[in-house]
Amino acid sequence: MGARVPVLALGAFYFAYFAYVGAFTPYLSLYLTAVGMGAAQIGLLTGVMQASRMVGPVLWGWLADRHGQRMHLVRLTSAAGALGFPAIAGADGFVGLFFALAAMSFLTSAAMPLAEATTFGHVRGDTGRYARIRLWGSIGFIASVVAIGHLLDHVTLPVWLWGVAALYVAGVVAAWAVPESATARPSGGEASARVLLARPEVRGLLFACFMMAAAHGAYYAFYSIHLVDHGYSKAAVGWLWALGVACEIAVFWWMPSIVGRLGLRRVLVASFAIAVLRFLMIGWMPDWTLAVLSAQAMHAATFGAYHAAAVGLIHRWFGGALQARGQALYTAVSFGAGGTLGGIAAGAGWQWLGPAATFSLSAVAAALGLLAVLARVREEPGR
């Protein structure tokens, strides 16, 4: 690998990929409501998308580490995942949507862990440089989430679906421009992975990431519905999502300085503590504009700082031929298993307990993650 980092290609890929995410994730619940799904069904549908990430990333990570072609696998699986959009549009009822979303999520689950491993390979494990490349994904998210929010005040949700598909295809095209980073030759990878997983700090971090993803289950499944139910327009919902990601961009930009001053462990501790407060505010203060704005600004900590610190530690622990599998394991345990639990629990809670209690359970999950970080995670020597 040369010294030059392909910043333009990586930034373009992150921008395109998260432009698709910004157009799809915040508004999927509104689409599902429009096609007749109830709260429990929406929870199951968002949950099955996360459940696919329990298996997909591990499989894709193993294949990538074995063959040393991460971005090639991203291109192939992403291209196949595009078939999910006609499947969603043609789905007839809950069962059709269930299988369409599950298959699409399984195929697209290769993109992030393998792209993250590729980026860390190019920047040689520098969390600060990674964060400044990753912020282009946040910029793409903002651009699309705001545009789609305004668009939905004027077009139908079926039209929205095909707009999302166009953004997805742009992400697939961008993946072809990203060069592979150097990978270590596999050498006893499976045994080494078992040894790493036996370390208490690794298990503690993965449990904490599981709880953080579970805590966000209600946020990703029902936040837009929550705001609309309290009188916010779809355009306002888009701007609120954008506010959270704008604050995330600021954190990504300043991450080199933040990590240098605090270290990765302290960043995680602060992120989990802020998450507890954030979810309580979302659940109990939706009619207080200042509280809603403040809670969205906290996304900088509960996703931006948390994610950069978590993937940074995973990269340190899972080195050499295990890099892709390490990032895949992080994705599977957090967004996969944790997201599944969070989405299903949120659907049941929303229907039987109500929004405030559901977001309170999110705060409890974040608190459990905080305890795990405090008890188990230790900063790496010589950081």
In the chain the domains, ranked by start, together with CATH numbers, are 8-177+188-376 (1.20.1250.20)
Nearest by Cα to 47 from 111, 114, 107, 105: 105
User: Which positions of the chain have pLDDT values less than 50?
Assistant: 1-2, 188-191, 381-383
Name every residue whose Cβ is closer than 8 Å to that of residue 86 and which is 6 or more positions away in sequence: none
Nearest alpha carbon to residue 11 among 118, 135, 191: 135
Retrieve residue 143's tokens. Answer: 């651009």
- Two tokens, residue 321: 């031929």
CA dihedral 85, 90, 93, 96 (to 10 degrees): -60
For residue 185, the model assigns a pLDDT of 52
- Nearest partner of 151 among 207, 235, 228, judged by Cα: 235
CA-to-CA dists, residue 375 to 199, 269, 310, 370, 382, angstroms = 13, 11, 16, 9, 20
Quick one: tokens of 352? Answer: 């039987």
173-226: pLDDT as tens digits: 999 999 987 765 555 444 466 777 878 999 999 999 999 999 999 998 899 999
DSSP label at 182?
P
**The pLDDT value given to residue 381:** 43
For residue 315, what are its two tokens? 């990269």
At 265, give phi and psi (nearest 5°).
-65, -45
Which helix or strand (DSSP H or E) is residue 351 part of?
A: helix 339-352
pLDDT in the model for residue 196: 78
To 10 degrees, the CA torsion angle through 100, 168, 118, 249?
-110
C-alpha 118/C-alpha 257 separation (Å) is 23
Cα dist from 194 to 165, 189, 319, 338, whole Å:
39, 9, 13, 21
Contacts (Cβ under 8 Å, ≥6 apart) of 58 = 325, 328, 329, 332
Please say whether the beta carbons of 342 and 213 come within 8 A.
yes
Q: What is the pLDDT of residue 379?
A: 64
Residues with Cβ within 8 Å of 180's Cβ and at least 6 positions away in sequence, in order, are 68, 69, 70, 71, 72, 118
Q: Is 165:82 a contact under the CB 8 Å cutoff?
A: yes
Please list the alpha-helical segments (H only) found in 109-156.
Answer: 111-123, 127-151
